[in-house]
Amino acid sequence: MRFKSLLIGAAIAVAVALPGQAKELRFAFQGDLKSLDPYNLNETFTLGFLGNIYEGLTRRSPDLSIEPALAESWSIEEPTRWRFNLRKGVKFQDGTELTADDVLFSADRVRADGSDLKTRLAGVVDVIKVDDHTVDFVTDAPNPILHAEWSTWYIMSKAWAEKNGATKPQAATGNEENYATRHANGTGPFMIETHEVGVRTVAVPNPNWWDKATHNLTKVTFTQIAADPTRVAALLSGEVDMAYPIPLQDQARVDANPGTRVLAGPELRTIFLGMDQFRDELLYSNIKGKNPFKDHRVREAFFRAIDIEAIKAKVMRGNSQPSAMMVAPGVQGGGDPRFTRLGYDPDKSKALLAEAGYADGFEVGMDCPNDRYVNDEQICLAVVSMLAKVGIKVNLNAQPKALYFKKILAPSLDTSFYLLGWTPGSFDSWNVLYNIHGCPDESGKGKFNLGGYCNPKVDELTAKVLSETDADKRAKMVSDAWAMTIEDISHIPLHQQALSWGVSNKVELAQRADNEFHWRHVTIK
Amino acid sequence: MLALIIRRLLQSVMVMLTVALIAFIMFRFVGDPIAQMVGQDTPIADREAMREQLGLNDPAPIQFARFVFNVVQGNFGISYQKGVPVDELILSRLPATLELSFVAALFALVVAIPMGIYTGLYPRRWLSNVFLTVSLLGISLPTFLIGILLILFFGVMLGWLPTYGRGEIVDLGAWTTGLLTESGIRSLLMPAFTLGLFQLTLIMRLVRSEMLEVMRTDYIKFARARGLSNRAVHFGHALKNTLVPVITITGLQLGSIIAFSIITETVFQWPGMGLLIVQAIQFVDIPVMSTYLIVIAFFFVIINMIVDILYHVVDPRLRAETGGKGH
Amino acid sequence: MSDTTSRISDNIDRFFDSDVWWSFKSSKVTIGAAIVTVLIIITAIFAHWVAPQNPFDPAQLDLLDSSLPPVWYADGTWKYMLGTDDQGRDILSALLYGSRISLMVGGASVVAAALIGVTLGLLAGYLGGSVDSLIMRVADVQMSFPAILVALLIDGVARGLLPNERHDELAIWVLIIAISLSTWVPFARTVRGSTMVEKNREYVQAARVIGRRPVAIMLHHVLPNVMGPVLVIATIGLATAILTEAALSFLGVGVPPTSPSLGTLIQIGNNFLFSGEWWMVVFPGIQLAVLVLAVNLLGDWLRDALNPKLR
């Protein structure tokens, strides 16, 4: 016993004697790291985490502008042919060198069965190796934002995957575990040291990284802490150096605590309400034989009944940016000064309802997730209460996302009125116009247009936006498309929620608006 | 004896199959795993294809037959959520839950038995009333609230104990333990207390009422009449007779402790099976949920069987009262 | 008819004359517990007259009044004596309405569990043989599912099966069924044990000899004699059921958020413990603890009073 405490004493002495040696970053997140395979799940946290281990041809700087990574440069040779020049001398963490073959292999693997990131190469018809460090991508039509999402299309080593039998992503039905699920071999600034599934993941810096490391970390430990109070407690007590998300009501406590602070910033996700506008009779309503939401006046009445400033002040505690548009200011085409929100006006709302023939209001069912977005259920409850004041009785069905998405997403589309959030992966308006505003059809257009809003003129313009390469013309088209959907009140945009990271004062880091956490920007005092 | 064991074994297999069937039918309705397995951009056609591949569109009996067939072969499938074999996942979480449960049960026993004896021997003393009332508080507050309050007080305000996780663990090959390191033991304190509190109350009251009854039996009166000292009567005779039902009930409770660890593990981010199942339910990770239930059912069946057999060995007359206590 | 009436009044007389009543009168703690329980039940039943606000009516909630502290703070108002929660619900009103939901869920599930448990226990104990075996194995299956898990699963299934527009109204019934299905086993085991003892007693044998039907024997002779332990289990079961409902709310499958129970209120308030808005969790927590404590104390007294060996 005596001996043991002596040893511990000695260990402490050593630790004190060598300050600045161990710079360990311990961080906690609400969710879990699903898999180390970079093509397994198209989800922000997983891809953001793996972006520290793996790299794409491009990467994004803290302000989200695209910068070269594994590709040193690129050029558009023809409208449908892009050329990428690979960086020379880049080594994977197992020591093999990056070549064009690895890019070709990754292009095949990301489009194989079981990959959830097939859309990264949507429209790419051919990938051609020009020489060992040059690759051409041929597309079926001109696409000025081809590489917009390539910062999260990570390049894997062909030799490594072949050696370990991981040439295809994990298939959903597979009874065999894929090697890449628990092992990683990237080119990035960090390497996985240990990965205890669902418990803890430890990474160390990659000494052979091609870029100059600006961080001073010697080790990174990630733990999932799902319960909000427990996560906050771990940060406050100094057991983790960084935790996110911090519940909005706990921000003051984290800031008041001497050793910690909150980093809040706007996120690119827009939270909005959608209404069923395609059925002739609503699924959940006491109005039979017609669909009130088909009436523009009813949609406007709903919009005007919602006091977005009260939601911002009370539910979001100041941490939201009310939005007139369905995209955030940081997205291409977002933050357009041409648009302002319809004002909060319950009297006008009542008048509009009366004009539309619903002077006594009506009943409608609302669907809401309760574990997906920041304070999602509380926002819905506030909306229920606000609509009650203009005579609309809303029957709220708030449930966990597993049940919620099953109910509202296609093919069931089992909803009349719902809350959803969306971040365009490409940070471009086209993604939102196409997915959320396009008339739904077989091709996948409008696949998240759950209310079935349909304006053929918007569709026409959206199609033109995709292939327009002149930036100014394109911006004008985007703005005009938004003007039409906002005029139609296709949806009711609410706000952009805020990022809420809790950070120890020992730690300096760069917060990205897409909520990805990159350790290469971290320094520890 | 042998016939009894064989009969119980057969019954146990039936129980396990029923559990599996019920669990299986229920899981078809807890949500859609596909929405969680793919990102927001994944086309609907791909989602449908996955559903088809996973066999989620097949009729329930076929899915169940396939499931049982695989389980019998020792193939529990791959977790939808984490992509690793389920049996491996559950085995890696088992030590955390068992360690927490055993320590919680031990804590409950060690504290509850003396308190129970005291309140049983001296039912009218004020300290007995204090014990009884305070212990009732332990079962009057929701577990999760007790856990959060402990975290707030000992973790954040005083900074004495870790707020989450298992601390530093030692890998012994097939088993991982936190009992060999200081941080591991410190991490165990709050969760074990939270989990053990409910059982503590239960056991204390059981010991008390057993003591009260035993002290009034002729057996004790004779012992006193023989002139034995109070100490000898209390501990030599009364306690000995009390402990049999106490140990039995505690044994049976062990299963429910393991089950109740769901909430404690969620609050303390304890990386055991309870945390796994809560996440699996949220994610609709059907292979993990089914396997968890089968493992839990297995524990209960085994514990029940051992208790039954012990009863037979100890006292055949007790057969009529398996599990429950009459008067 | 008059026969029944006189029997009831006989019973009442006997009750006030009994040891049970005497032991009640002589225990101050028990009297206190009874008063508290009755008070909570009455204020819960008449919540719509007693409470200043109807927290279940969204039109009465004002978001701008949310998160107000209790009256003795500078920003507190008499309008919301105990403060408001994050949706602008008056905590005092929410307590009264919430207790009603908790008591209803707890009470109904205990009654249901007792009905199932006593019936099955009587059958198993009286008939024995393969019926006994079957029922006890079902109980084993039941026991192999932890109560919380059973409730979680039933809730999940119900959500999947029931039409969604009815979900809110049915959610409470689903909870009741879930909790009762996970708590009937102790009733069954106890009743079965007692029945096996009782059925060999002389008076039951005698009834059988004079040719009374088994159902009649069970109801008139066996049942009254096993009611004592059932009552004890039921009282403690009520406390447990209220807590189980709270735990389910914590795991996110409780009553709908538009009509919160005490458990839901605690679960909501739980998230505001660190931010200093303590009133959202402390008041519901005290209310729940007091209620459960009082019911448990009553259960204690009942157990001791009905067990003649302990006096």
Residue C121 domain-assigned (yes or no) = yes
| pLDDT given at position B29 | 62
Chain C residues within 8 A of A310 when measuring between CB atoms: 63-64
Q: Assess A364–C contact: CB distance below 8 Å, yes or no.
A: no
Residue B17 domain-assigned (yes or no) = no
Percent with pLDDT over 70 in chain C: 83
Question: What is the CATH classification number for the domain harbouring B110?
Answer: 1.10.3720.10
Single out the residue of C106, C247, C257 nearest to residue C176, CA to CA: C106
Judged against a pLDDT cut of 50, whether residue B43 lies above it is answered with: yes
pLDDT digits (tens, 9 = 90+) for C153-173: 676 666 666 655 556 667 788
What would the two tokens of residue A458 be?
């918007």
Question: Which one-letter DSSP state was computed for residue A238?
Answer: T
Judged against a pLDDT cut of 50, whether residue C51 lies above it is answered with: yes
- The domain defined by A19-259+505-524 carries CATH number 3.90.180.10: no
| pLDDT given at position C145 | 65
| pLDDT given at position A218 | 94
Residue C28 domain-assigned (yes or no) = no
Of B36 and C56, the structure prediction assigns the larger pLDDT to C56
- Decide: residue A510, CB within 10 A, 0-12 exposed, 13-18 middle, 19+ buried: middle
pLDDT digits (tens, 9 = 90+) for A138-195: 998 888 888 888 999 999 999 999 999 888 887 655 567 889 989 999 999 999 999 9
Contacting subunits of A (3+ beta carbon pairs below 8 A): B, C
What would the two tokens of residue C6 be?
């006189």
| Packed helices C147-161 and C167-181: angle between N→C axes, nearest 10 degrees | 150
Name the amino acid, one letter, at B108: A
pLDDT digits (tens, 9 = 90+) for C221-232: 777 777 777 887
Instruction: Give, rounded to a whole angstrom, the gap between the first and last alpha carbons of chain B.
Output: 27
Chain A residues within 8 A of C153 when measuring between CB atoms: none
Angle (CA) A64 A66 A71, round 5°: 145
Of B114 and C309, the structure prediction assigns the larger pLDDT to B114
List the single residue in C with minimal CA-CA distance to B134: C293
The whole model's pTM is what?
0.82
What's the domain count of chain C?
1
Chain A residues within 8 A of C258 when measuring between CB atoms: 381, 384, 396
For chain A, list residues with pLDDT below 50: 1-19
Question: What is the CATH classification number for the domain harbouring C145?
Answer: 1.10.3720.10
Look at C149 and B326 and tell me if their CB atoms are within 8 Å. no
Look at B39 and A43 and tell me if their CB atoms are within 8 Å. yes
| pLDDT given at position A93 | 94
CA separation for the pair B304, B300 (Å, rounded): 6
Q: Which domain holds residue B126?
A: 87-326
At C35, the pLDDT band (50, 70, 90 cuts) reads very high
B247 φ/ψ angles, rounded to the nearest 5 degrees: -65, -40
Residue B27 domain-assigned (yes or no) = no
CB pairs under 8 A between B and C: 156
CA separation for the pair B31, A405 (Å, rounded): 9
Residue C71 domain-assigned (yes or no) = yes
pLDDT digits (tens, 9 = 90+) for B171-222: 777 788 878 788 888 889 999 999 988 888 888 888 887 777 777 777 677 7
Name the amino acid, one letter, at C202: E
Q: Which domain holds residue C276?
A: 42-54+63-310
| Packed helices C185-198 and C129-144: angle between N→C axes, nearest 10 degrees | 150
Q: Assess B202–A contact: CB distance below 8 Å, yes or no.
A: no
Neighbours of A393 (CB within 10 A): 16
> Which residues 6+ apart lie within 8 Å of B50 measured at CB?
A172, B34, B37, B38
CB-based contact A423:B41 (threshold 8 Å):
no
Question: What ipTM was reported for this prediction?
Answer: 0.78
| pLDDT given at position A9 | 41
Chain B residues within 8 A of C273 when measuring between CB atoms: 148-149, 152
Domain covering A266-498: architecture: Roll (3.10)
Look at A230 and B267 and tell me if their CB atoms are within 8 Å. yes
Look at A182 and B78 and tell me if their CB atoms are within 8 Å. no
Give bridge partners of residue A253 from the DSSP assignment.
none
Question: Which one-letter DSSP state was computed for residue C52?
Answer: S
Q: Looking at CA atoms only, how far is residue C178 from chain A in angstroms? A: 18
Look at C270 and B156 and tell me if their CB atoms are within 8 Å. no
Single out the residue of A363, A331, A352, A292 nearest to residue A493, CA to CA: A331
| Domain boundaries along the sequence of chain A | 19-259+505-524, 266-498
Residue B44 domain-assigned (yes or no) = no
Residue C138 domain-assigned (yes or no) = yes
